Amino acid sequence: MWRLILKNLIRNKRRTLLTAASVAVSLFLLSALAIVYTALGKPFEGLDRVPIMMVRRAAGIVFQLPASYQDRIKAVPGVVAVSKLSWFGGYWRDPANQFANFAVDADTVFQVQTGAAIPPDQLEAFKRERTAAVVGKRLIDQFHWQIGDRITLLGSPYGFTPEVVLRGVFTGGPDDHFYFHWDYLNEGIGRANIVGMYWIRVAPPDAASRVARTIDQTFHNTDAETKTESLSAFLLGFVSMLGNVRGIILMVGSAVTFAILLIVANTMAMSIRERYAEAAIMRTVGFRKSHILGLFVGESLVLTIAGAIFGVGGAKLFFDALGLRRISQFVPADMRMRPGTLLFFGALTVVMALAAAGWPAYRAARLQIAEALRNTG
């Protein structure tokens, strides 16, 4: 049966190739939309299992918190590590060289970010030197920095231009981040003693909701009330600034899906109509109705799956190679195709193939032999 399906598909090579190419291009675009849609809904896979939380100002992420909060947060039962940080918002040499850079507490940042690994000697050098900095491996690869390089961060809204020396490289975790000393920033802006937010690590992980409530109650009715949330929820807060982008993507994706269905359905309808008489002859030599139905539906499956392999597979290879970690400067997201997205497209491909060929194939299988022989398509 499968040999017969393949022979029928290559009977009209131009039509088969054009249809498969159309499906591949359409599914590539649809895959790109799905990757963005998934990233906006769940910025980084597995974050909910990571016991890291963010403590920020309840009024909004643009407002600061007192640096004195750190000791009071650390005293909350369930908090095993806490580290203050401030988003700096600088760039290197040119405004096009934007990356995530933070002023952090050098003594505690890697106690919270346990997923990041840095050699002990480099970590000690970072802690000792007030103007030292450490950077993720992804930025090292991007800008070709080396340990010992002097790096000047420009364009920060703080109005301060730090000159730091690169003393370490970390891998894993947020490996597109750049860290320098919060004390250095605090001195540079006149010892304001303010921070952007706090990272905290919680143990056990199921204590997260209790810890969040306790911290927020601790600072309730103060001049700087807090909002404590999971890292995933914090990142989704950035996504919300883009508006209802997911809704727009969903509408465009639905339109593309319908277009793919029309492409395959039109091709299969033409092919099946042209072969009514052929199906009747097959019936006369012993093929059953189920064989005719399976033949035409099988052709639709092979055609659509071939397009999906190139379209969806090409999108996966393309986005995985790019390794994009943010949608914009302020919206971090892992822009790679996830296993759930692949499974979705596998199921969608089968459904579209069945929907496109189901009715024409059923009609061809149900036609009376005499009627089908009179019908020349």
DSSP bridge partners of 326: 332
Burial class (CB in 10 A: 0-12, 13-18, 19+), 198: buried
Higher local confidence (pLDDT), 291 or 193: 193
pLDDT recorded at residue 74: 94
pLDDT band, very low/low/confident/very high, at 44 (cuts 50, 70, 90): low
pLDDT recorded at residue 205: 81
- State pLDDT tens for residues 129-158: 999 999 999 899 999 999 999 999 999 999
Higher local confidence (pLDDT), 112 or 326: 112
182 pLDDT higher than 80: yes
pLDDT recorded at residue 114: 85
pLDDT recorded at residue 247: 82
Longest dimension (CA), the chain: 94
238 pLDDT higher than 80: no
What does the DSSP assignment read for 329-352?
TTEE---S--HHHHHHHHHHHHHH
Average pLDDT of the residues in 197-207: 90
DSSP bridge partners of 297: none
| Of 346, 369, 347, 365, nearest in space to 296 by CA | 365
pLDDT band, very low/low/confident/very high, at 322 (cuts 50, 70, 90): confident
Higher local confidence (pLDDT), 218 or 332: 218
The three-state (H, E, C) secondary structure of 19-57, written as one string: HHHHHHHHHHHHHHHHHHHHHHHCCCCCHHHCCEEEEEE
- State pLDDT tens for residues 273-296: 777 777 777 777 777 878 888 888
Distance of alpha carbon 196 from alpha carbon 214, whole angstroms: 20
60 pLDDT higher than 60: yes
Average pLDDT of the residues in 209-226: 94
How far from chain centre, in Å, is Cα 79?
29
At 201, which helix (H) or strand (E)? strand 197-202
User: What's the whole-model pTM score?
Assistant: 0.69
pLDDT recorded at residue 324: 76
At 195, which helix (H) or strand (E)? strand 194-195
